[in-house]
Structure 1
Amino acid sequence: MSANNKTNVLSEAFIEDLFITCIEDSYILSMVCEHLEEEHLPDRNTAAVLKAFKDYYREYRRVPNYSIIQQKLAGKNGALRFWKEAYDNGEALATDECLGLLEEYLKRVEFQKTYKKAGEVYNREGLESAQQLLAKHVDWMRTFSLTESTYTDVIDTFTTRHIQNRAKNNSRGTIRAITRFYIDELDNLNQDRDLRGQLSCILAPTGVGKSHAARWIGSQACIDGFNVLHFQLEGSREEVENAYSAALVACNAYSYEKGFIKDKDMDAFTKELESIAGKLYVRSYPKFNQHVSTINIKEAIAEFRKNYGVKPDIILIDSMDLLNDSSGRKYGDSGERLKRIAVANDLKDIASEEEVWVVTTYQARIENPDWVNDEKNVLTEYSSSEAKGIAQPLTHLITLNQSANERREKTMRIHIAKSRFFPKGDTFKIATDYDHERFFDRQRTANL
């Protein structure tokens, strides 16, 4: 297709040119793999070709040739016919021209999707919700670019950027800010900053209570009126469901698990739960499943929204060290650090794209009991190999530290190893009550 005819980016001819460019231009291929999704394409044949490109690029990080894509499409007759026609008729585009056309294509397709969805939201939820959806799309259209300048003139754009910030804030005006960790010292330090779009990690050795900490945030946020989606990657579904049930009403976890709670108390707990405005959902994967990736997490969030008509406010993941990243790459033992960084970056993107607070746990492996029992020591990104690398994309790295003596006292030290919102380095002590699924026992903590 000649340059003079490229007026309709929604045409099949443009898709042909785009894919032909992908076998010659590695930068265009990387941008296509990052930004173009199968749902953006007009049919399953073009979507199959895109998947073939992505699968190859994910594994080899270089452009394929015609034959490689042809082999990957074996058995898909419609996709093979399209690919042959594209190869015969398509024409590779210049990099800048292709980026501009791809950007226009994405904006048009996203507009069509949003326009359709806005009508559905209007019929289901009313005018205000539809307006919020359209306002969010307008904000995305204003900021999305594949060809933006490397440099921004801060002075010349001062007023424009403030108007954009105001519009963005107004479009989110009805979205309630998430401001609490539900641990008093951390809440005081946070000073009501909104945690949406942020990624926080709780790092602790086995048995200290990182899962308790995650469930504490989840249960208290639910009681506070937020919608919580918890992904459990280790342990059984029943285990986490029972623990959350006890946490919501502060009953004895063992008694709930064994069914020992008296009927009168159960009636009182049921009535108490009726007053909770938030929702709490658990998605459990098989124990120690090494095949769950951040793609599964993202797909599950979309499935959750579709099935329940509820958008989560907080995503909890227990535990991040059992997640794989979205690249599908096999790192091996020597690449564990690179894998941790890739997973953390994926989760940071999810937090930003979904406008949620993502809280994850991570297991620290400390083999020296003397180091752990010395209460002058705390876990940091420097003293724990597991924390190296993941700290960079995190908003918060919070470590749980407990000596043998503190375990007997049911206390621990919380250390702020990293924070973008408030100073790092603080360490403070809290009391726990795990018998009643209370990670933070406010009364006992006040008396320490």
Structure 2
Amino acid sequence: MAGKKNENVLTSEFLAELYNCAITNNQICSVVSRYMEDSFLPDQQYQLLNTALKSYFNEYKTAPQYGIISQRLSSSRAVSELLEEIRDVATSVNPDGIRDQFEEYLKLVQFKKIFKEVSKKYEDGERITAMMSFTKEAVKLQQFTLKPEEFIDIAQTYEERLRENKVRHDNPVTKPVNSFYIDGLDEMNQGRNLRTQLSLFLAMSGVGKSHIARWIGYNAAYISGLDVLHIQLEGAASETTDAYSAMLSGTTTYEYESGKINNHTLEHLKSQLDTYKGTLKVKAYPKFGKEVSTTDIRTDCDKYREKFGKYPDVVIVDSLDLLTDASGRNWDAKSLRHKRIATAQDLKDLAAEIDGWLVVTYQATIENPDWVNDEKNVLTAFNTSECKGLQRPCTHLISLNQSKKEYRESTMRLYADKFRFCKKGEPFRIALDYEHEVFYDRVRTLNLPQDNS
């Protein structure tokens, strides 16, 4: 009966072998936790087993073994009986063979999904788009594998890989993502690809975390022509959308909020809309309700792909400290640091899966105002006990530093506490124009006096 509902359901015989391996083998458990969906399973018992397996692996990063998974599912007689059945009927199969069969199954399911999506586009008259989409997805499907990376002979494959790199560089399938839109950071990055990377901006409350998030989002969409998804976890949705709108028109946020945009500005903006190649979408979560997890962020990205045919190039999350990880664990106050690290690791994994750049903000707390006002000091990951170790999953950790004097001058110092592929530099000062939603005022920055200290 289950087969009639979903032709993609796996057979009981194969599932017994697969879950026997997943319960005892770390690599298979990792694969099942990441790729198995409830729709692939024949009944509720298997779905409960799958949920328990994922929950354990996401928390401990290891296979649970029969004793632990049996205890976790002991309240359900039906699932306990299923576990005993799996244990009894499973044979000593090669885990690699089981993994390869699961890989072929996933490819078949994905192919059917691609074919359905492309067929719809073709029938809707989008023939060129359909063919290009099919070619791109077919290449990705061909490259998909659950196998660990093979041993690569550096010398013997040098020329082949060089040719592939040149073709990929000269004919990129995706648009380049390689700018922070702040000269000092771009000089450090030197044009390196930011796809699959996680960049975290650390600042005290009121200094400008949301400003820098929007600065990157706006410029990525309307200067670089990228597709940006901004996920707002704090404040009202209108605060974000109105600020972005003020950036579009070059006005103050107040002028946009109060509807005081003159006709000349409005007409000029309308004339520019067709020239914008990128897109900027905002998803805001209600201030009150369940805690948002990285699973919700992943779901938002999947929904984006379903609606727009691709994942966003850049995903902005404002801010990390209002997010929890995908394990479903109720973290206590003593485990806050581990929660932050697990959440950041989830986002780093998501960046790799969607082949996009994840930009997140984080609020630091410094209780000593004298420390903040001493401009020799800069925030690092170690300034606040709750985020020690947070830099590990991050490609970049950049702090925003502002004394009272700098606040009055509309300036601040940026410091790259971590910048992978690059040596740590010195803090550098930039000028701001928050009134017009400009995080980085290049002209004023270039005219700032040189710091010779």
Q: Same fold (TM over 0.5)?
A: yes
Q: 2:117 aligns with which of 120, 125, 128?
A: 120
Q: Kindly indicate whether residue 398 of structure 2 is the aligned counterpart of residue 401 of structure 1.
A: no
Q: How far apart, CA to CA, are the structure 2 residues paired with 1:279 and 1:15? A: 42
Establish whether residue 350 from structure 1 lines up as the match of residue 350 from structure 2.
Answer: yes
Alignment partner, residue 231 of structure 2:
231
Please state whether the residue corresponding to 1:378 is helix, strand or coil: coil
Contact map agreement 1:49 1:73 (CA 8 A) in 2: no
Which residue pairs with 1:203 in the alignment?
Answer: 202
Task: Report 1:246-265 matches (<5 A).
Answer: 246-265=246-265
The offset of 1:337, in angstroms, is 1.2
User: What's the Cα RMSD here?
Assistant: 3.0
Matched, 1:110 2:107: yes
Distance 1:30 1:88 in 2: 16
1:136 and 2:133 are equivalent in the alignment: no
For the residues of structure 1 that align with 2:160 and 2:85, how far apart are their CA atoms?
42
Are residue 98 (structure 1) and residue 98 (structure 2) matched? no
1:249–1:273 Cα contact (<8 Å) kept: no
Post-superposition CA distance 1:27-84 (Å, at most 9, x none): 367335533321672545444442243346557873445575463487xxxxx69938
User: Tell me, which stretches of 5 or more residues in structure 2 are unaligned?
Assistant: 1-8, 449-453
Letter in 1 for 2:357: W
Deviates more, 1:42-51 or 1:287-296: 42-51
Q: CA separation in 1, counterparts of 2:410 and 2:56?
A: 52
Could you tell me how far apart the structure 1 residues matched to 2:69 and 2:307 are? 41
Shift of 1:118: 4.3
The SS at the match of 2:400 is strand
Q: Equivalent residue for 1:15? A: 15
After superposing the two structures, state which structure 1 stretch, 273-282 or 205-214, moved more. Answer: 273-282
CA pair 32-194 structure 1, distance change in 2 beyond 3 A: closer
Aligned counterparts, 1:62-211, within 5 A:
62-63=64-65, 64=68, 69=73, 71-72=75-76, 83=82, 86-87=85-86, 90-93=89-92, 97-114=94-111, 116-118=113-115, 120-121=117-118, 123=122, 125-141=129-145, 144-146=146-148, 154-155=154-155, 158=158, 173-211=172-210
Match status 1:423 vs 2:417? no
Q: Which amino acid aligns with 1:188?
A: E
Relative to structure 1, the CA distance from residue 29 to residue 256 in structure 2 (aligned partners, 3 Å threshold; closer, same or farther) is: same
Which shifted more, 355-364 or 132-141? Answer: 132-141
- Give the structure-1-normalised TM-score: 0.85
Are 1:279 and 2:279 counterparts? yes
- Return the TM-score normalized by structure 2: 0.84
Q: Which runs of 5+ in 1 are unaligned?
A: 1-8, 75-79
**Whole-Å separation in 1 of the counterparts to 2:27 and 2:400:** 44
Distance 1:169 1:72 in 2: 54
Change (3 A) 1:278 1:389: same
In the alignment, residue 202 of structure 2 is paired with which amino acid? L
CA shift, 1:426, in A, is 2.5
Residue-by-residue CA offset, 1:378-422 (whole Å, 9 max, x unaligned): 112233435421111211111100000100111101111111132
Contact 1:341–1:389 (CA under 8 A) maintained in structure 2: yes
Post-superposition offset of 1:308: 3.1
